[in-house]
Copies of this chain bind each other. A is one copy, B any other.
Amino acid sequence: MNVYGEGDIVFEIGVVVPKGKEKQEDGDNNCIEVLVNEFMKVGLIVERIVGLQNEYIKLAAKNDVLGRAAAALQMRKRTHIGVDLLFVLEEIEAFVHQPDGSLFSWSERYHCYNHIMYGIANTSMSAVILKSDNGEVHWEVGESILRKLESLKIVKDVFPLHDERTRKKLLKTWALNWGDCSAQPINEICSYYGTKIATYFTFLGMYTRWMLFPAAFGLTVQLVDFGSMQLWVLPIFFISVISWAVLFFQFWRRKNAAILDRWQMNCSAGVDPYNFSDKEWSSFQPQSEVMKKLESSRAGEKEAFQREEWLGCLKRLRNDSIIISSIICLQLPLELAYAHLYEILGSDLLKFSLTAVYLFVIRYFTKVSGKISVKFVKREYNKNIEYRADSLVYKVFALYFMQTYIGIFYHALLHRNFMTLRQVLIQRLIVSEVLENLMVNSLPYLRYSFKKYRAIRKNKRKHERGLSPGKGRSISRVEKEYLKPAYSPSIGEELEDGLFDDFLELSLQFGMVMMFACAFPLGFVFATLNNLTEIRTDALKLLAVLRRPTPRETTTIGAWLNIFQFLLVMSICTNSALLVWLYDQEGKWKISPGLVAIIAMEHILLFIKFGFSRMVPEEPAWVKAKRMKNATQAQDICSKQLLKSISSQKIA
């Protein structure tokens, strides 16, 4: 429970059930009544609200109820010595409270609520027969009642509720705080939305702030005439932009480690998905699957693991090559054909209809390939859900990468048509980014408004006809939230949330301004403006337009960092190519000293990119020292007892 005062209860989960028919059935066996009774029996605080269309059961829980669930879940929690240990209700003093004062974080609470709600099973000896509006429900022994009712569509939805007080506070200090453009109350965001969303906004804020430097430089390059030095301006711009990006990502890693320390999470910054070293002692759930496997096959353990590993590797390779080849064989020709036709077509009407056809085809293609990717990823042998999500991100990004850049590459590299290239870039940056961004964000709000309007009108009509029991009540808060759309991605619902689309947009924009930096230095200015609005619109979207998202616990930006790095390397190559073509007027590959210089510069920049990450440590020294101290302390305390139990095991 998230407490302010003593008696102030914050309801955090909403369950949607159909409205009872005028209370004609007061019998004990009405399934809704039974559900509510069971909720109360396990210690949840229940509030029932009859809305316009449905009935809403709001749930809250005290710390002891959540604590029992946490212990049953074998949740690991940060203790005062900085090590994550299994939660035990009796030793509650040992565990660190959240910065906002509550014992459990929102993500932990959510897990506990789920465990409690779905853990309610029929513990009697025989099946119980419940009544519902449409007939009888057989509640079998050991069956979860909530799952049963969900499968019968009696429980229409279970969703996390907004906490109105915190939401309003965040609206004021974050989404509508236009004063300092890139300042965000990151800690409050973290405790309200969980680490994943907070990490995204931290990244977005830092990215926007850093972006100001290249934006200023780009503006200077565009506006000032350097006279005889003009030849040197673009290469210098290129070098400084690349160095800027290299520095940015390295310092982002450090910042990530620092904020994780502040959020009292165990740091896994810079750890690639294969490396478990940091997660061993801090994994949220016990890795029971792997453990069981280890137990059962003691003998051929090593061989089994190796076989499985290589089989998984081969399968992944097969899937990846299918996707890559399908992108190259199907999408690439399509994109090139579109770009080529667009180039040669004369009339604007034809161009417009061509674009319409193209957009229709490409949207369909993306949808289908996305679904295939999700299917592939699900079938792969992958270690955890986080890694699966990463795998999906790579695959889908490849799709969008083609879709976004092939046309631009076509203009830049094949036709060497710099005017068209700049036009395309301006068009994409302004139209696609700024306008589409606003449109995409306002769409859910329009949908929600329509739904609300329909619900109210329907209710009014019923009321006019005298069917509705209450008066023409205004719509209740929980009902409004039920009508709001969820924070879902355009692809692969169960692996990712809405952040997928936000990150995709951010990375495509990064690629656009970086890869063609030399052709269009002004791009950074557009990107900065876009990001400044992006922070506010994303915040508004989360706070006002959408339901509260299910919390996720990833602590880094994961696969996206690799994608940004990939785009950085690509941009070194493409900018070098652009420079070659800019200075090579005849197109005859004859610019001997210039070409060598540019190729040398490219290699040096690549070297800096890969060398620099070794120079600056990814984790600040103080975070490391703290972590080390914690580990040693924990070990010293328990060392003796461990030894005793080992030797007794040995002797027994």
Binding site for B on A (CB under 8 A): 79-81, 83, 85-86, 88, 91-94, 270-272, 274-278, 280-281, 286-287, 290-291, 293-294, 301-302, 304-306, 308-309, 313, 562, 569, 573, 588-590, 592, 595-596, 599, 603, 606-607, 610, 614-622, 624-629, 631-632, 634-647, 649-651
B309 close to A83 (CB less than 8 A): no
Tell me which of A309, A616, A646, A651 has the highest count of chain B C-beta atoms within 10 A of its own C-beta.
Answer: A646
* A611 and chain B: residue at smallest CB distance: B566
Output the nearest chain B residue to A606 by Cβ-Cβ distance: B606
Residues in B whose Cβ lies below 8 Å from that of A644: 91, 94
Given contacts A79-B643, A291-B629, A640-B88, A635 and B309 within 8 Å (CB-CB): no
Contact A650 B80 (CB under 8 A): yes
CB distance from A408 to the nearest CB of B (A): 19
Q: Is the CB of A631 within 8 A of B280?
A: yes
A628 to B85, Cβ gap below 8 A? no
Pair A290/B625 contact, Cβ less than 8 Å: yes
Whole-angstrom CA separation of A59 from B102 in the bound complex: 62
Closest-CB distance, A567 to chain B (whole angstroms): 13
Q: 5 closest Cβ contacts across the A-B interface? A: A638-B638, A305-B622, A94-B646, A93-B647, A91-B643
Closest to A587 in B: B592
- Tell me the minimal C-beta distance from A302 to chain B in angstroms: 5
Please state if A627 and B280 are interface contacts (CB–CB under 8 Å).
Answer: yes
* Chain A contact residues, majority secondary structure: helix
Are A622 and B83 in contact, with the CB atoms below 8 A?
no
A287 to B619, CA, bound (A): 18
Q: How far is the CA of A305 from the CA of B261 in the complex (A)?
A: 15
Copies of this chain per assembly: 2
Whether the pair B589, A595 counts as a contact (CB closer than 8 A) is yes
Nearest B-chain residue to A312, judged by Cβ: B621
Is A86 a contact of B639 with CB atoms below 8 Å? yes
Contact between chains at B638 and A301 (CB < 8 Å): no
What is the chain B residue whose CB lies nearest that of A616?
Answer: B313
Minimal Cβ-Cβ distance residue in B for A599: B599
CB of B622 within 8 A of CB of A306, answer yes
Known: A91-B647, A646-B94, A647-B93. A306 touches B85 (CB 8 A): no
Kindly list chain B residues whose C-beta atoms are within 8 Å of the C-beta of A596. Answer: 589
7 pairs of residues in contact across A and B, judged by CB atoms under 8 Å: A80-B646, A81-B642, A91-B647, A280-B631, A293-B625, A301-B622, A569-B610
Contact of A309 among B79, B620, B649 (CB under 8 A): B620
Given the known interface contacts A309-B621, A589-B590, A617-B274, the answer about A638 and B636 at a Cβ–Cβ threshold of 8 Å is no
Query: B residues within 8 A CB of A599?
Result: 599
What chain B residues lie within 8 Å of A650 (beta carbons)? 80, 93-94
Which residues of B lie under 8 Å from residue A313 when comparing CB positions? Answer: 615-616
Query: Which B residue sits closest to A610, measured CB to CB?
Result: B610
Report the separation of the CA atoms of residues A281 and B309 in the bound assembly, to the nearest whole angstrom. Answer: 27
A636 to chain B, nearest CB (A): 7
Contact A280 B94 (CB under 8 A): no
A621 contact from B278, B306, B589, Cβ within 8 A: B306
CB distance from A366 to the nearest CB of B (A): 24
A507 vs chain B, min Cβ distance (A): 17
Indicate which residue in B588, B603, B637 contacts A645 across the interface (CB closer than 8 Å): B637
Known: A617-B274, A622-B305, A651-B93. A642 touches B80 (CB 8 A): no
B residues in contact with A588, CB < 8 Å:
592
CB of B294 within 8 A of CB of A642, answer no
Query: Closest residue of chain B to A267, judged by CB?
Result: B277
